[in-house]
Amino acid sequence: MKKKAVYPGTFDPLTFGHLDIIKRGSKLFDTVTILLAKNRQKNTLFTLEERIEQIKMILEEEKLTGRVNVDCFQGLLVDYCKQKDINIILRGLRPMADFDYEFEMAMTNRGLNSSIETVFITTDQNFFYLRSSLIKDIAVMGGDISSMVPSSIEDSIKSKLANR
């Protein structure tokens, strides 16, 4: 049986931290689906379509297409997994800040569907401080974000923020 994982998130935008989890996850599982799922607390800078295009471009640049794909879903993550016959949720875990939130999410998803397991990969030490909102804050103040996001989306972040 194929080991299929879903890597859900907002990805507004995708960071090097996310990419590291995707690359390492793609070595553990036969397929990884990056899923743009809705976090109801978040208003995004990029539209769903823009984020999908950005991720597709990055997957091509990184030669990850095939094993890794991108999709979007409105609704419960466990329902998406059931529809697509996926039983692994992949999440990155950064020190301290993530634990309670991730534990709660994993427990909730497990409560909703106990045949789906959440698997955590610890974030690489080079990226554990990264988060999308921090990157947007740095970019809006003219800071250098080249070590935080793939170069192909750096300009679109800057121009989107400048035109807001």
Decide if residue 150 touches ligand COA (CB under 6 A): no
Bridge partners, residue 37, by sequence: 73
24 given a catalytic annotation: no
Q: Which of 23, 24, 110, 131 binds ligand COA (CB under 6 A)?
A: 131
Closest by Cα among 156, 155, 150 to 62? 150
Positions in 41-60 near ligand COA (CB under 6 A):
42
Positions in 67-86 near ligand COA (CB under 6 A):
76-77
Q: Please identify which residue in the block is written with the tokens 């689906």.
A: 33
- The first and second tokens of residue 2, run together, are 């194929």
The single residue of 26, 51, 91, 94 carrying the catalytic annotation is: 94
Rounded to whole angstroms, the Cα distance separating 75 from 73 reads: 6
Distances (CA, A) of 83 to 31, 32, 86, 131, 142: 16, 15, 8, 30, 43
Three-state SS at 18: helix
Q: Which of 5, 15, 46, 51 binds ligand COA (CB under 6 A)?
A: 15
Q: How far is the CB of 133 from ligand COA (least distance, A)?
A: 3
Bridge partners, residue 102, by sequence: none
The single residue of 3, 42, 133, 159 carrying the catalytic annotation is: 42
Q: Which of 4, 10, 48, 156 binds ligand COA (CB under 6 A)?
A: 10
Decide if residue 25 touches ligand COA (CB under 6 A): no
What is the binding site for ligand COA (CB under 6 A)? 8-12, 15, 17-18, 21, 37-39, 42, 76-77, 92, 105, 108-109, 123, 127, 130-133
